[in-house]
Amino acid sequence: MQRIDRTRAALLRIGLVTALALGGVSALTQRAAADETCNSPYMSNLIKGQEDFIYVWTLGVQGLGDGADKLVTIDANPASPTYGKVLRSVSVLRRGEAHHMGFTDDRRFLWAGGLDDSRIYIFDVFSNPAKPRLVRTLEGLPGETGLVGPHTFYAMPGRMLVQFLSNTNDHGGVTGMAVFTNSGDLIRTYAMPTGGGGDGYGYDIGINPNKNALLTSSFTGWNNYMMNIGQLIQDAEAMQRFGNTMVVWDLKSMSPQKVLQVPGSPLEIRWSLNEGDNWAVAATALTSKIWLIKQEGGDWVAKDVATIGDPTQIPLPVDISITANGKGLWVNTFMDGKTRYFDLSNPEKPVQTYEKVTGKQVNMVSQSWDGKRVYVTSSLLANWDKTGENNEQFVRAFNWDGNQLTLAFEVDFTKERLGRAHHMKFGSNALRAAHDDGGADQPASARLAKEER
């Protein structure tokens, strides 16, 4: 028996196990090509089947419930008796402009940030995926980093890279990134480039490991994103203070390599997930364009490849979601409440093939890995959302058959007294951690202590 085990161990070690009949051992060490379909390539445990939960990072509204920001968990499994219902709401007991979230590389923890109070909340989503638990709050980051407004939370191996939007000096758009251990300890910060055509602004992060390329985009600072939208639009000077660049960084050295001019505030970045593709897309909020970022002759370039709606009407594209095969792109435009689909078969010439009004105002759009389900939220920023009857606050789930979106369920966040629904992430019961204690211990420590004496 021992001989068999020894031979098997040697074979396993050299990777021939797949040639052996070992009872259909499944590949459990997962290498992520991407999340469902928009997160870090370093993240594991993709949900490629039916998601069980939608986690919604929700802005508190004064007078609604406890008025605080909260992580809301919605049952998203059609087979569940509570399908489409709110399962849990974890309040952080204060209002700090809840905005975006991101998983750690092992998908055990969900980091969520406040753009106003610059706090980062870390939720345990693996002990019980149906009942996320707040386990740590990072406070005092502006003093520690000089940065304000943690926006994008991007998994790196064993750590989190966070893109901020602003700074403590003037609350403008010049900002930086900070990297933390997975448990929340600050490692160091990186300034966004202000030379070589850089405006120093930041927004999203996208990494292509095969190219050692980190791509960043640019939005605006605290002074603008906390300003009332009506007032902001009237302020010509403030309207000049939006980012107009994307930056290609050398990931290993974390040094900026090239600043790309992408006017009109390029927001979310999506690398194509198709094996062998090495291009990314981003949409510009103010100019309503889709931009393609790729290498031509070894040089990184940004190309304006499509128009979203009528730019003169400022549809305000606010989020994009790329399909797992890199052939399609959902685009949400806030002002007209439309969810649009672009055929990306030729990324040099995206073509819009579908659109539907999915709300009076729409912000984030997320799709399942198989592309069959599309989720939409309503809130952009507390002071930028529409008012009165146009201020719908919801999560809407749609089924996509390749031709049309059909409403599957809706959660009214005002009626449920939750707040403004912003960013979404998926959860699954299958990710619940199984206990493994490693077996009973032998008294080796005592033996070592004796030897050391």
Nearer to another protein, 22 or 233 (CB): 22
User: Shortest Cβ distance from residue 49 to another protein (Å)?
Assistant: 15
Q: Phi and psi for 284 in degrees, rounded to 5?
A: -95, 130
CB of 100 to another protein, least distance (A): 22
We find the least distance from the C-beta atom of residue 279 to another protein, in angstroms, to be 13
What is the C-alpha to C-alpha distance for residues 236 and 249, in angstroms, rounded to an integer? 32
Q: In angstroms, what is the minimal distance from the CB of 153 to another protein? A: 16
Distances in Å between the Cα of 453 and the Cα atoms of 444, 447, 448, 449 are 14, 10, 9, 6
Residue 183 or 390 with smaller CB distance to another protein: 183
Looking up tokens 């019980």 gives 128
What's the alpha-carbon Rg for the chain, to the nearest Å?
Answer: 23
Shorter beta-carbon distance to another protein: residue 15 or 143: 15
Compute the CA torsion angle 184, 189, 190, 192 (nearest 10 deg): 90
Pick between residue 168 and residue 278 the one whose CB is nearest to another protein: 278
Q: From the DSSP assignment, how many helices (H) and strands (E) are in the chain?
A: 6, 28
Is the CB of 136 or the CB of 349 nearer to another protein?
136
CA–CA–CA angle 67, 160, 129 (5° rounding): 55
Nearer to another protein, 93 or 448 (CB): 448
Q: What is the C-alpha end-to-end distance of the chain, expressed in Å?
A: 38
Cβ partners under 8 Å of residue 56, min gap 6: 71, 72, 73, 74, 377, 395, 421, 422, 423, 424
d(CA 431, CA 412): 28
Unique residue bearing structure tokens 């009973």: 440
Q: Tell me how far, at minimum, the Cβ of 28 lies from another protein, in Å.
A: 4
**CB 162, min distance to another protein, A:** 15
Burial status of residue 167 (CB atoms within 10 A of its CB: 0-12, 13-18, 19 or more): buried
Of 27 and 79, CB closest to another protein: 27
Among residues 13 and 415, whose Cβ is nearest to another protein? 13
Q: Shortest gap between Cβ of 361 and another protein (angstroms)?
A: 37
Distances (CA, A) of 80 to 51, 132, 427, 434, 452: 11, 18, 14, 22, 57
Residue 129 CB, nearest distance to another protein (Å)?
A: 13
